Structure 1
Amino acid sequence: MTSGPEADFARSCVPSITSGGRRSALLTDDGVRIEAAYEPCATPGAAPAHGLAVVLAHGFTGALERPAVRRAAAVFAQRAAVITFSFRGHGNSGGRSTVGDREVLDLAAAVRWARMLGHRDVATVGFSMGGSVVLRHAALYRREHEGRIGAHTDMVAAVSAPARWFYRGTPSMRRLHWVVTRPAGRLVGRVGLRTRIHAEEWDPVPLSPVAAVPLIAPTPLLVVHGDRDPYFPVDHPRMLMAAADPSTSELWLERGFGHAENAAPAVLLSRIADWAAQHLPARPALEDEARTTDPA
């Protein structure tokens, strides 16, 4: 998968399907319908001058409507506009989950929507599987390769993300591999976890998170991980940071933090939102003036 010339946004977004323009069905470049929601900043006076939008990418078995995703969105909405969406195979989105592979296209559609709504600065924040997706997305969709309404991110934060594929070193990951790879497991995923999982194996194997990280610079990167993560031990974030550009990357190892959005406390989410606001790209005053007089 490569970024390539991006399709016009009109092919990637179906107009709002609810009143108020807060819900949309986004169409990915491979034709999957993705449910998405937009929330303006709840405290406009606290919003960054450039109108930052945060696009949240949930973990495996999450969805737009799950309580942990809504809680995270509410925290980020205190500092920026927020877009949440359900990855393919999750919630009311179409398709089947490929557990981090084609999900990059889902995230790209959500980022394009943020830019179509007028947000010039976009931060992607991903949790667990979503963390691997935001890393690969940042590597594959580069600003210099984008058109007028690009799918690139300006800042990327990966929370509780794996560094490498096929990891089975913890009981939690061994259970997850059973769910993904076995017919009985996929039945449990569909019925019990409300997640529809693709039965085919990856072919080819997608770019791994640790291989993606060196391609992200100069985009600012934040890696956040807990020392009590039951899925991925701390060698995963350390491996990611070892591959990253130290001049544009940060690692937060959080004491007592477990895994992803379900365990992330509000204070940590607030710190991530502040980090994104602090890393807004610098722009010349003349560019700011031009943008205010010519929104196109």
Structure 2
Amino acid sequence: MRTGPAGHVARSRSVPNSETHRRTPMRTFLRTEDGVTIDSVYEPGALVYDAGTPPSGDLVFVIAHGFTGDVDRPHVRRVATAFAQYGAVVTFSFRGHGRSGGRSTVGDKEVLDLAAAVTWAREFGHARVATVGFSMGGSVVLRHGALYGPEGSMREGRTEACTDAVVSVSAPARWYYRGTAPMRRLHWLVTRPEGRLVGRYGLRTRIHHREWSPVPLSPVESVPGIAPTPLLIVHGDRDGYFPVDHPRMLAEAAGDRGELWLEPGMGHAEHAAADELLARIGRWAVGRAG
């Protein structure tokens, strides 16, 4: 994998639109609209086709990992490898995670990180972008789909940051949920000084100490703004973080504009997403994006 020089920051149009660059793996730092550097990786697709799968060379998946993940985590790399069978892949570390700058806002400003990654993905010449998010990343792709969608307040002048299909896996429907033991532990990690120390030194995740102000649009409030962009909601019926009322709320908000896959026996996010499920998501994106 080719890595940019230390300290390099990729800005808009930093990658020429050419077949040469589309076929070359690249790692660099992007800069978000609010000035945070985001560690990002582009990998061309494996270009493996079968008779039942449409050509996907113009499709790129932009993967939004869950809280405490980063671009180098094995579970993130496994997801990237699975989607590379269906198109090119961009992975990145959210702010405060891994080698990226800034501090995590646990789903708020992260929408700017995703917008920077989508913009970069399009600079490789891909005509179609599918955003796929897991857990916290799942909430981010929903908010991004609404904010940068047809009616979104951030769409004007930033069409390169919009997506052509949205897949949200294991996402919450509403903020401040504390109904399960894992979510109570997560709130301790985020809200308590000692919890943030555990996040920084134990989980390689730097968490912002400030509370949200204002509180961002919730995932369920965001969903109606995604249409007409295709939306897929995926959730396990054994998710230990968010019970099945969360995906059902999201699906109800989407109406006939979205699909819900409630997966029997599946737990939470990337670790619980079987290779077969990732393949189904990949095929869905090929058929729906654009």
TM-score of the alignment, normalized to the shorter chain, above 0.5 = yes
Tell me if structure 2 keeps the 8 A contact 1:155–1:279.
Answer: yes
Give the conservation status (yes or no) of the 8 Å contact 1:131–1:159. yes
SS of 1:202's equivalent in the other structure is coil
2:261 aligns with 252
Q: Distance in 1 between the 2:15 and 2:125 partners? A: 15
Helix, strand or coil at the partner of 1:245: helix
Q: Secondary structure at the match of 1:125?
A: strand
SS of 1:228 mapped into structure 2: coil
2:145–2:166 Cα contact (<8 Å) kept? yes
Between the aligned residues of both structures, percent identity stands at 67
Counterpart of 2:229 in structure 1 is 219
Residue in 1 aligned with 2:98?
Answer: 91
Whether 1:32 and 2:36 are equivalent positions in the alignment is: yes
The CA distance in 1 between the partners of 2:164 and 2:150, in whole Å, is 8
Match of residue 130, structure 1, among 117, 120, 137: 137
Query: Which aligned pairs between 1:1-296 and structure 2 lie closer than 5 A?
Result: 11-12=11-12, 22-43=26-47, 45=49, 48-49=55-56, 51-143=58-150, 145-147=155-157, 150-246=160-256, 248-281=257-290
Partner-residue secondary structure (3-state), 2:171: coil
Letter in 1 for 2:59: L
Q: Deviations over 1:182-237 (max 9, x none)?
A: 00000000011110000000000000000000111100000000011000000000
User: What's the counterpart of residue 5 of structure 2?
Assistant: none
Tell me the alpha carbon deviations over residues 260-285 of structure 1, each in whole angstroms, 9 at most, x when there is no partner: 0111110001100100001132xxxx
Question: Structure 1 residues 120 and 165 mapped into 2: Cα distance closer, same or farther (>3 Å)?
Answer: same
* Cα displacement (A) at 1:150: 1.2
Alignment RMSD: 1.9
Unmatched 5+ stretches in structure 2: 1-8, 17-23
Aligned with 2:161: secondary structure?
A: coil
What amino acid is the match of 2:34?
A: D
Aligned AA (1:277): V
Task: Spell out, residue by residue over 1:137-159, the C-alpha distance to the aligned partner (whole angstroms, 9 max, x if none).
Answer: 00000257344761000000000
Q: Aligned letter for 1:24?
A: T
In the superposition, the TM-score normalised over structure 1's length comes to 0.87
CA shift digits 1:22-77 (9 cap, x unpaired): 11211000000000001101125567356100000000000000000000000000
Quickly say closer, same or farther: Cα 1:45–1:267, change in 2 above 3 A. closer
Gapped regions of structure 1 (runs ≥ 5) = 1-8, 282-296
- Structure 1 window deviating more from structure 2 (206-215 vs 136-145): it is 136-145
The one-letter amino acid paired with 2:77 is R
TM-score (norm 2): 0.88
User: Hey, what's the Cα distance between the residues in 1 that align with 2:150 and 2:277?
Assistant: 28
1:236-291 alpha-carbon deviations (Å, 9 max, x no partner): 00001111131x2100000010000111110001100100001132xxxxxxxxxx
Q: Residue type matched to 1:152 in 2?
A: C
**Alignment coverage as a number of residue pairs:** 269
| Deviates most, 150-159 or 20-29 | 20-29
* CA gap 1:67/1:13 in 2 versus in 1, 3 angstroms: farther
Q: 1:170 to 1:105 in 2, by over 3 A?
A: same
In the alignment, the residues of structure 2 paired with residue 225 and residue 83 of structure 1 have an alpha-carbon distance, to the nearest angstrom, of 23
The answer as to whether partners of 2:15 and 2:124 remain within 8 angstroms in 1 is: no
